[in-house]
Every structure is written in structure tokens, then in C-alpha cells.
Structure 1
Amino acid sequence: MLSAMGLLDTVLDLVLPQACAGCGIRDRSLCGPCGELLGGAARQVRPAPAPPGLPPLWTVSMYEGVARAVIVAHKERGRTALARPLGRALARSVLAVLAALEAGARGMGGSESAVESTGVPVVVPVPSSAAVVRQRGHDATGRMAAVAVREIHAAGVRAVRVNALRQRRHVADQAGLSGTARSANLAGAFEVVSPVAGRRVVVADDVVTSGATLAEAARALRAAGADVVGGATVAATPRRW
């Protein structure tokens, strides 16, 4: 359930749109020029150094400027209407993962697409803790993933969203931690709560910094029998890439 602030922001976005989350222009949640900055093609990125087990990773933007402002407004300030442009960006990253997978299968001489031959791909959002969701008043990544799957369907590609992960223990704030410290902080943090054995999975998140979160999510899913084929995000922290 949305917090009072999040509910108010949603109503205001529908009835009297707020200032653009990217540049502050009045009377719209996200203006055209700022929306275009989130509208680019997805590209493959990789941190240096990459944590063990990190799947191939695709993103749309760097986590700076407009992209950072929009993600923060959505996640921390309850601007839930921003899930739509962010979800559309996330969808392009997921589609890029699936396209790369299919291209790789064709390059190896496969007669059918890798996606079709293994059933419907599963988009699994990286979970926040229950306490964080309560504090924010909404599940930011889950909301974006839901929009992304609708966009993927609109593009003619089959996919499903499954909230297959949850945090099994407390995780310290990641801000300011090195890549090694992030990996140690997250070790064993996720558990699988839905059947994923034999499924092809794309792990989804809003931002990737060191890759530790996505690597730990992928580890938990693989341990449950999933074939984790990639990670998809909206933005990547630029100093790591």
C-alpha cells in the first residue's frame, strides 16, 4: 500500500502534474526532453572488477543527471507515476538480453530461438526488504518490472514477471562500500520463494553499481535451478564502468 505521501504524489500526477522530476519544469511529471534521455537503446556494460557470477548485463543510461533524479524521485519520494518511463527503459534492457541470447543461439547453428525453445522467459526483480518497502510506501523495483513486462508484451515478446526472491536477512546500507565489501554484505542475503528450476531468468533492478546485488541474486536463482541468462537495469553508476 502507498504511503500518504506516495498516494498524494500519484493523485497529483494524475490531476495536476508536478514539476518534471528531471529538470523541474512545471506541469508535467517528466518533460519530453528528459524523457528522451531515458529513451535510448540498451547497451551491454560490465563493472571492473566484476563480482563472480555476474550475468551479462544491459542498461540504458548512466546513473547521473536526469536518470539519477528520476530514479530517486520514483524510489525515495513516492513519485510512482515515474514507474512508467522507468519501466519502459527497463523493458529495453530485458529485450536486449533476450535478443543477445537468441543471436547467440543462432550463431551456434540453432534452428529455433533460445527463448522459444526453453519456454517463456521470467523477469525477476531484485527485492527490497519488507522494512524498506514499508518506509518508502511502495515496491519501486517491482512496480518498474510490472511496467516492463507489459511493454515487452506490447513488443510482441512473451515474458512473465515472478517475484521469486526475497531478502532473508538484514543488509547494511551499501552506500560508500567497495565492490568487495558490497559482495560480503550481500553474501547469502537472498532466498528463492517461487519455483524457477529449468526457467530462463533475467534479473531486473533499477541501478547497478558494483554488480554485487545482481551477482548475489543470480547465485540464489542458480542454486534453485534457474538458468540466469542476464541482468537488466535502467542505469549504471558511471565511475564503475
Structure 2
Amino acid sequence: MPDRTLVDLARMAALDALAVLLPVTCAGCGVPDRALCPECRTTLDGPLIRGRLGASSNEHPSSPPPFDTVAAVAYESTVRNALLAFKEQGRTDVARALAVPFGRAAEVALDDHRDRVPSASGIVLCPVPQGTASARARGYDPVRMLARRFTGHHVPPLLRRVGPARTQKLLGVEERLRNARGTLQARHPLHGVDVLLIDDVVTSGATLLEAARAVREAGGAVIGAAALAATPLRHPENRPPS
């Protein structure tokens, strides 16, 4: 049976090549262009959005420590259009442009912890896994594709889906937390491993919290999380209580 890493890389390369060869319109605004037009690319250079997930030890002494999140841009307007095209319409040609702000957020998140983990190579990127149905329908993992563009190499999955969960889109914050609980599991022990969680969009934070739980249950430590975008709900000035 072929190496899954080679199969994934071959599939991603084929999708990238197909997207470039076929005539397309800008994924952000729809004008004739390839991937994103210059004007839409400027929207990917917004101010970083910082947040914090998890309860403080004063409020819940038995809870795991909270962690910081860094997102590159707000999930709205052009950014939302481009990301949906990338995830739902097979527009893998947008990955190169989206990987730039994604990489910026990841670099900042890594820099925040270089004093504790001196070498960035000592921090492992942990993609939040997509849903099983989404994975089958797409044939590629958007988060891992962005990570590959950012790092220049294959980023293996550390977590897997183990339980069914309703779609999060129509659920409130508390419902999302309950819905996500117990749905992720580490693929192997992570004892002594420092992990930076990575995702495409931070909304309520429920999925990131579940990913953090799965990493810690496997013996790893979560230093933080980075994402391409965050919904307005996650803006610091409008952040709900953790």
C-alpha cells in the first residue's frame, strides 16, 4: 500500500496544478483573475486578532490552563469569500495567498513562546482535523495545505475524529462546547511535546478547546493556537467570557 504522505502530497500537487490551468475568477470579488486580485490581497494584511481560550485557575482550579490565540484577519467580507472558495469550492489556487497571513499568525504565536521553548523547531504544529464527511468531499485538508505552504514541508495530522458531532454552524457557544467534547483524540502519545494548534477560523473556540483537551490527554502541552481568521465574536473588544 502506498505511503499516505506521498499520496497526500501527490493529490495536493494535482489539485494545485488543475486550479492554475483552468480559467478562474478572483475568489474574493469575482473579477476575472487568478486566485485573488491585487485589491483583494490587500484585505489579507489586516491587524492581528488576539484572544484567549479556557477558564482561569481562579474561576476553575481543576481546569487545564488557558491559552492564547492569534488570528491574522477578521473572518468577513473578502476574506470570508476567499476562504469559503478554498474550502467548499475546491479553489486550491487560493492556498498560496491565504498561507501568507496564516503564516504571519503562526510566526507571532511561535514568537510569543520562544522564551519558554528556545527553538521554534521544538514546537510541533497540530492541525485541527476536519470532519470526516468534509474530508471525503474535499479530498484535501485545508488547514494542512496552508501549513504545508507556510512550512515548506508535509505537516502530519496529530489528532483524529473519534466521535460524531452535529454541525457547529447553528449552535450557541455553550452548545458548541458540549457538541465538541470527546470528538477528538491524539493519534499517538505526545508526552513532552509542545504543541501549537492551528486552524482556519476561530469562532466560539469550542473546537480548539477540544483539540487542546485531546493533546493534554495524550501527554502534550498546548502553548497556544494560530488561525488564518477569527469571527468578529473573537475580537478582543467583543470577546465573550471564556
Q: Are positions 1:230 and 2:224 aligned together?
A: yes
Q: State the distance in 1 between where 2:226 and 2:52 align.
A: 12
**Pairing partner for 1:146 from 133, 145, 148:** 148
Distance 1:196 1:148, change over 3 A: farther
Q: State the distance in 2 between where 1:48 and 1:35 align.
A: 33
Deviation of the 1:55 alpha carbon: 1.9
Q: State the distance in 2 between where 1:37 and 1:164 align.
A: 31
1:62-211 aligned within 5 A: 62-102=74-114, 113-116=115-118, 120-150=122-152, 161-211=155-205
- Higher deviation after alignment, 116-125 or 60-69: 116-125
Distance 1:195 1:85, change over 3 A: farther
Deviation of the 1:41 alpha carbon: 5.0
- Identity rate, percent: 36
1:200–1:228 CA contact under 8 A, matched in 2: yes
* Unpaired runs of at least 5, structure 2: 1-6, 57-62, 236-242
Higher relative contact order (CA 8 A, sep 6+): 1
Figure out how many residues of one structure are paired with residues of the other and give that number: 220
The DSSP-based 3-state class of the residue aligned with 1:197 is coil
Aligned to 2:41: 35
2:54–2:209 CA contact under 8 A, matched in 1: no
The DSSP-based 3-state class of the residue aligned with 2:198 is strand
Q: Are positions 1:57 and 2:63 aligned together?
A: no
The DSSP-based 3-state class of the residue aligned with 1:60 is strand
TM-score (norm: length of structure 2): 0.80
1:3-42 aligned within 5 A: 10-11=16-17, 13-40=19-46, 42=48
Q: State the distance in 2 between where 1:236 and 1:22 align.
A: 17
1:55–1:218 CA contact under 8 A, matched in 2: no
Distance 1:168 1:232, change over 3 A: same
Deviation string, structure 1 residues 82-115 (Cα, Å, up to 9, x no partner): 122222222111111111113xxxxxxxxxx433
* Unpaired runs of at least 5, structure 1: 103-112, 151-158
Deviation string, structure 1 residues 96-138 (Cα, Å, up to 9, x no partner): 1111113xxxxxxxxxx43326862111110013322111222
TM-score (norm: length of structure 1): 0.81
